Amino acid sequence: MIRIVNCNISRYRSILSMTMDISSDLNLVALCGQNNVGKTNTLRAINLFFNPETYTSEIDMPKIKHATGGQSIHPKIELTFWDDKTDTYYTLCRDMKAYSESLPDLTLSGSSFKLDGKKKKDKRNLTLEEVKAVLDQIEFVYIESINTFIPELIGKITEGIINVEYDKARFSQSRKALKDAYDTYVDGLSAILGTFANDISNTFKYFCNNWKVEFIVPKNSETFRDLISEDVRLSLDDNGSIGVLDKGAGLQRLATILLNFEMLSRINRRKSIVVCIDEPEVYLHEGLQRKLKALFDEKSSSMQLFFTTHSKVFINEYSMRNVFLLDSKHYEQYSTRKKKNINVTETILVDINDQSGYDKICSHLGIEAVTYELLHRNNLLVEGNCDKKYLTELFSFFELPCPNIESLNGADNAIKFLEFYDSYYRNNTTQYKPKVKVVFDNDSKGREIYSKVRANTYNHIDVTAMLLQNHTNNGNTETEKNNTNNEIEDFMYPEVIVYLINALLEKKSMVKLKTKDVCKKIHTKSFASKGILGLCEYEKNTLNPENGAELSFVSSGNQTNRIKEGLAGMFNLKANKKLLLLLAECDAKYPYVKQSLQELCNFESTT
């Protein structure tokens, strides 16, 4: 397979000079960046290399070159290819300075070489015929972000099927009939396109189960070109409208990409394939984006794909190979020819290996940046993983800024953690002094450690100790002579805790708790101080006298901790309509919970 391993673009639109080294280990090449930084121009430059007839000097030459003139003003695109079968490299250059419509190949030059480690050997210049012979081994397709004109695409597909090399044996008689007479031609073309439609329907159904692909060939076409470019219609039958142009923009776009893939999979298998796709995710919801990315992964075993994207779905965050971040810089340059300053927008390639580049690409794609600091600017230390899960989900639900949350794995560890952090930040090289809120359960152990933390002094981190109140803000938080046993579950809405417990009881085929009874009792003084898990333990055993002891919400030990973590693990709010509605109802009943969360994420008043 022949693939591009280096792309060097000079003087093309916004790209004055840019080089991309491309890993040969991966056939997916992603171009990222904000709008109007030159991502599409990069694909257009590659397209110009393969299709010089698309050249328009007024558009493709950089504006600054129009203004300043000089010898080097025309685009030059240099691609280095690697043929893995012969282990030979070809550096081919298309310099548009020599372009003429009648002799476009005069723009080409090239050389070949092999690599010995990093050193080139056996280098030699290629003749024009040798350069063309290399390019003849490559099939190139450019899929623009704008909707492709469907009849034009059908024309390419039809021509490819009939004249290239699609299933020769099956269609040899149809091809002969096409040459014999018009009527037989139409019937033969219908058969060919019908078989093609059947072959590709499974690909379309992967994205939409009820899609059925059909090419409708009318009998009234007068010429071959009219037939393929004007009258043949693409149909996607989903039990609604069947014309592809009747679909939404996203599905039209998806159909265009899929048809191109299906066409390319049927061309001469001896050819290498390079495809450029501009914003494949445009107009597609995330579910279809993921399916399309999976198709990209599959197709990359037999072709090289270049694509621009704004979606992290199309990026492998754990390798970042062949991911290129583009940016732009804007400046004025004086033109002696124009006798005025010219506004210049220049595309630049950002090094994502350094910190600023890494931060930029994370920000652009919505990837959570990795920090090597132990603490962030704002931090919550909580007693356990259950606290972390419940609070994280609630912050998201209320659209509050979630601070960094760390689990102490028990209140007893709080002082050790804080002493370590204070020592670690003695020689602080960050631009901030970490702020830490330590949130303790309102139980005997929580109150004990809470008092000790408040009595300590920390010089290099700002520490605030807090006792977590219950959902109505009426628990006894006195640190002396207090038997209250409230945990994170008491801060949560009681209806939500019962909902989660009932989901667990249902899995165990136990009788479920009665939400109204639990919520009524938990607001009495005696049950409130003992905590909702104690109440639910009592109610569960009452309703399940035979097997209630199989589950315990209150006993000490690893099994109970796992059960409590299991309940927290079920508190997943994304797209969970029932839980989301329940939370909205509870928020109206118990406004303190949201108020407390707002206080937890507000670090401005922390000293």
Stretch 35-57: mean pLDDT: 94
Residue 49 Cα to chain centre, angstroms: 29
What is the rounded CA–CA span in Å between residue 528 and residue 538?
Answer: 13
Bridge partner list, 323: 30
The answer, yes or no, to whether residue 490 has pLDDT greater than 90, is: yes
The answer, yes or no, to whether residue 51 has pLDDT greater than 80, is: yes
Helical ranges in 240-366 per DSSP H: 249-264, 286-299, 355-365
Among 64, 60, 134, CA closest to 97:
60
Parallel, antiparallel or unpaired: strands 233-237 and 404-407: unpaired
Stretch 174-184: mean pLDDT: 52
376-409 as b/e: b if 16+ CB within 10 A: bebbbbbbbbbbbbbbbbbbebeebebbbbbbbe
Q: Residue 96, SS3?
A: helix
Q: Which two tokens stand for residue 388?
A: 């972390």
The answer, yes or no, to whether residue 234 has pLDDT greater than 80, is: no
Instruction: Provide the phi-psi class of 87: left if phi over 0, else alpha when psi is between -120 and 50, else beta.
Output: left
What is the rounded CA–CA span in Å between residue 359 and residue 123?
Answer: 40
Residue-range domains of the chain with CATH: 2-137+273-364 (3.40.50.300), 150-268 (no CATH), 378-600 (no CATH)
Residue 237 Cα to chain centre, angstroms: 30
The predicted structure's pLDDT at residue 300:
94
Q: Residue 10, SS3?
A: strand
What is the rounded CA–CA span in Å between residue 6 and residue 8?
Answer: 7
pLDDT tens digits, residue range 8-44? 999 999 999 999 999 998 999 999 998 889 999 999 9
The answer, yes or no, to whether residue 177 has pLDDT greater than 60, is: no
Bridge partner list, 112: 90, 124
Determine contact, residues 105/130, Cβ cutoff 8 Å: no
Instruction: Tell me how far CA of residue 339 lies from CA of 14, 308, 334, 444, in angstroms.
Output: 22, 37, 7, 81
Residue type at 126 in one-letter notation:
L
What is the rounded CA–CA span in Å between residue 65 and residue 74?
Answer: 8
What is the rounded CA–CA span in Å between residue 195 and residue 218?
Answer: 17
Instruction: Tell me how far CA of residue 597 lies from CA of 70, 227, 380, 462, 508, in angstroms.
Output: 64, 66, 11, 19, 33
The answer, yes or no, to whether residue 365 has pLDDT greater than 90, is: no
Bridge partner list, 348: 327
The answer, yes or no, to whether residue 228 has pLDDT greater than 60, is: no
Burial of residue 306 (number of CB atoms within 10 Å: 0-12, 13-18, 19+)? buried
- Quote the longest CA-to-CA distance of the chain: 103
Q: Which two tokens stand for residue 576?
A: 């969970």
- Determine how many CB atoms are found less than 10 A away from the CB of residue 3: 21
Q: How confident is the model at residue 316 (pLDDT cuts 50, 70, 90)?
A: confident
Q: How confident is the model at residue 197 (pLDDT cuts 50, 70, 90)?
A: confident
Look at 58-67, 123-132, 150-159, 172-181 and tell me which has the smallest mean pLDDT.
Answer: 172-181
Which residues have a Cβ under 8 Å from the Cβ of 309 and sit 6 or more positions away?
30, 31, 32, 279, 280, 281, 315
What is the rounded CA–CA span in Å between residue 530 and residue 538?
Answer: 11
Q: What distance, in Å, lies between the first and last C-alpha atoms of the chain?
A: 63
Among 310, 18, 267, CA closest to 140:
267
Determine contact, residues 276/47, Cβ cutoff 8 Å: yes
Among 589, 557, 600, CA closest to 390:
600
Average pLDDT across the chain, whole number = 85
The predicted structure's pLDDT at residue 58:
87
Q: Which DSSP string corresponds to 121-145? A: EEEEEPPHHHHHHHHTTEEEEEE-S
What is the rounded CA–CA span in Å between residue 330 and residue 34?
Answer: 14
Greater model confidence, 277 or 364: 277
Among 182, 175, 161, 164, CA closest to 226:
182
Sheet holding 378-382, edge to edge: 404-407, 378-382, 435-440, 462-467
Residue with tokens 């600054």: 64
Number of H helices, E strands in the chain: 22, 18
pLDDT tens digits, residue range 412-461? 999 999 999 999 898 877 778 999 999 999 999 999 999 999 999 999 99
Query: Phi/psi of residue 330, each to 5°?
Result: -120, 130
The answer, yes or no, to whether residue 176 has pLDDT greater than 50, is: no
pLDDT tens digits, residue range 66-114? 656 666 789 999 999 999 999 999 999 999 998 988 888 889 999 999 9
Parallel, antiparallel or unpaired: strands 15-21 and 2-12: antiparallel
Q: How confident is the model at residue 187 (pLDDT cuts 50, 70, 90)?
A: confident
Instruction: Tell me how far CA of residue 64 lies from CA of 37, 77, 97, in angstroms.
Output: 16, 18, 16
